[in-house]
């Protein structure tokens, strides 16, 4: 039988809690989901493995895209989203995103979110691949923080939401073919606990921390994706990882992101000799799609032998830099770079996962009673390459919708949950491994950057998969330790990325194969779906691969 769980234990010995809706994750998607269900009168338990404020949303600078201007329309927003997605966007879900998006942003404003404005009119910016100014910002470059603080206040003040910080999702619990809750771990106590719920929603965020260079916080390990996969849910589009082209090139981990909005306002990318090179790669120059800009920078770095290029702010006035990009200015100054006086070093970094747990428009996964939303989910909205500033909007729109859908399911009878099996099984006789967790985590990150990064190849991906499998076998059953659980999740997610990237023998959007550099619509206008092979040996799980064709209309 396929490997299903990270640990074996007797559930009857553990603390047990129940609720109507269990939500895992406290970014924009998780908070929106929890509020949506709570406002419908449901008892919500909201988990986060770190603190309420440690997630990608709180660090998001660029803004939130929505057709809020009289000169813009949802149809134009959809058109830009399709163009960026390189033929793989889900048309229905994109239309839902752009239609509901303006309403959800206005609801945020009604809740107290303050976006930058002049004389009562929103100041809307433009970013790469957008045909209109539709990016709403807050505090210049602290949009995510403003949105997160607004939603957090509402959650903390809601009587129906029970927030539990410092609680790690270990495994999803299943019974009679459906999800019935989760096994959790509290590192500060060293204890496991069971939370049972008729509806469970994963909003666990991204997976950038599997890469040596990333803009994501270290909590972004893909744990929700790994847990859903182990439980039997479909995952999709895992090969599509977006690399942000402009992260501050310092030795910090994670790397600090310099928002695309800076280029939207006129900043220029130059190589180390001072040459502006982007128009050599794309007619839109600095405003080309992110995958194009990231590969152009990567190529230029290889040509020059440098580990960075330069971002030149000189077309922006000192006042513009100080007023519109105060967080970026502060961070650059703390690293001894002053963008008001000199170009700053930048390099690409892993930033966003287009793929994840396969869901429908209401957040339902292929595993009954399990939902997902936000970056850990794959709605098909982003296709092969996410349009800038659509991520916060997706979390807001589909987080709210998933909460309402999960709340509806939670009306079901809870009596079946008393029949959850006492034993979690699946690892069989696999013994506890002796891997150095810290060293292996860093080695995995380095491997993913070199083999599954901006440019990939078949032989490199095959070698990476072999190495990941070797680490998985050596890992054995993890100790009851947060770092060990996290490494297991990272290995699972890394292998899913590498296997999907090896399968897709073409280049499309954020996925670029040096040994298959052309886009091949005839053979690869499809989605790659993976699920656990339930017949595989527990010691070395395997995946079942499925190709789902995509309508030409979505491109």
Would you call 290 a catalytic residue per the annotation?
yes
Q: Which of 126, 290, 295, 513 is catalytic?
A: 290
What is the spatial distance between Cα 225 and Cα 488, in angstroms, rounded to a whole number? 12
Burial 348-368 (b: 16+ CB within 10 A, else e): bbbbbbbbbbbbebbbbbbbe
Structure tokens, 195:
């939370």
HSE-CB of 47 using CA atoms within 13 angstroms: 28
Give the ranges where 159-272 is alpha helix by DSSP (H): 223-231, 260-264
What is the spatial distance between Cα 32 and Cα 247, in angstroms, rounded to a whole number? 28
Q: How far is CA 405 from CA 40, 176, 235, 318, 377, in A?
A: 10, 21, 20, 48, 15
Short-list 158, 166, 152, 117, CA closest to 137: 117
The DSSP call for residue 415 is G
What is the spatial distance between Cα 28 and Cα 228, in angstroms, rounded to a whole number? 20
What is the spatial distance between Cα 66 and Cα 101, in angstroms, rounded to a whole number? 6
What is the spatial distance between Cα 226 and Cα 411, in angstroms, rounded to a whole number? 28
Which of the residues are catalytic? 290
């Amino acid at each position: 039988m396929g490997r299903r769980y990270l640990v074996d234990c007797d559930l009857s010995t553990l603390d047990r809690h129940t609720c109507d809706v269990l939500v895992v994750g406290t970014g924009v998607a998780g908070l929106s989901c929890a509020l949506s269900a709570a406002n419908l009168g449901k008892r919500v338990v909201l988990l986060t493995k770190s603190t309420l404020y440690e997630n990608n949303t709180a660090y998001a600078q660029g803004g939130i895209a929505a057709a809020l201007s009289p000169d813009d329309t949802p149809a134009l927003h959809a058109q830009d989203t399709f163009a960026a997605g390189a033929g793989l966007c889900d048309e229905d879900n994109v239309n839902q995103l752009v239609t509901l998006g303006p309403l959800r942003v206005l609801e945020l404003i009604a809740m107290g979110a303050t976006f930058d404005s002049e004389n009562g009119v929103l100041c809307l910016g433009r970013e790469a691949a957008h045909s209109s100014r539709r990016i709403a910002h807050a505090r210049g470059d602290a949009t995510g923080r403003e949105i997160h603080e607004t939603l957090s206040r509402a959650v903390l003040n809601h009587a129906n939401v029970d927030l539990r910080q410092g609680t790690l999702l270990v495994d999803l619990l299943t019974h009679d073919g459906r999800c019935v809750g989760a096994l959790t771990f509290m590192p500060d106590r060293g204890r496991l606990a069971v939370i049972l719920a008729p509806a469970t929603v994963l909003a666990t965020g991204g997976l950038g921390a599997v890469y040596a260079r990333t803009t994501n916080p270290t909590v972004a390990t893909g744990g929700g994706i790994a847990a859903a996969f182990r439980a039997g849910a479909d995952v999709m589009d895992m090969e599509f990882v977006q690399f942000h082209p402009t992260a501050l090139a310092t030795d910090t981990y994670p790397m600090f992101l310099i928002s695309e909005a800076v280029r939207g306002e006129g900043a220029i990318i130059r190589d180390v000799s001072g040459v502006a090179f982007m128009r050599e790669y794309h007619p839109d120059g600095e405003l080309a799609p992110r995958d194009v800009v990231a590969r152009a920078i990567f190529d230029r770095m290889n040509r020059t032998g440098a580990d960075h290029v330069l971002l030149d702010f000189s077309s922006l006035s000192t006042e513009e830099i100080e007023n519109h990009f105060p967080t970026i200015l502060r961070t650059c100054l703390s690293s001894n770079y002053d963008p008001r006086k000199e170009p700053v070093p930048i390099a690409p970094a892993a930033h966003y996962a287009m793929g994840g747990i396969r869901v429908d428009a209401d957040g339902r996964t292929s595993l009954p009673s399990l939902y997902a939303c936000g970056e850990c989910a794959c709605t098909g909205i982003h296709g092969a390459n996410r349009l800038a500033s659509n991520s916060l909007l997706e979390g807001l729109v589909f987080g709210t919708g998933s909460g309402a859908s999960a709340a509806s399911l939670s009306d079901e009878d809870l009596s079946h949950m008393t029949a959850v099996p006492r034993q979690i099984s699946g690892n069989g006789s696999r013994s506890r491994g002796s891997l150095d967790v810290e060293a292996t985590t860093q080695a995995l990150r380095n491997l993913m950057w070199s083999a599954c990064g901006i440019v990939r190849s078949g032989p490199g991906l095959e070698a990476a998969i072999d190495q990941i499998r070797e680490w998985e076998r050596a890992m054995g059953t993890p100790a009851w330790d947060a770092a060990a659980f996290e490494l297991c999740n990272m290995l699972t997610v890394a292998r899913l990325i590498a296997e999907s990237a090896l399968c897709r023998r073409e280049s499309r959007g954020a996925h670029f194969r040096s040994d298959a550099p052309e886009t091949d619509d005839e053979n690869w206008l499809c989605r790659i779906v993976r699920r656990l092979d339930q017949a595989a040996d527990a010691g070395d799980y395997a995946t079942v691969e499925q190709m789902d064709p995509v309508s030409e209309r979505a491109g």
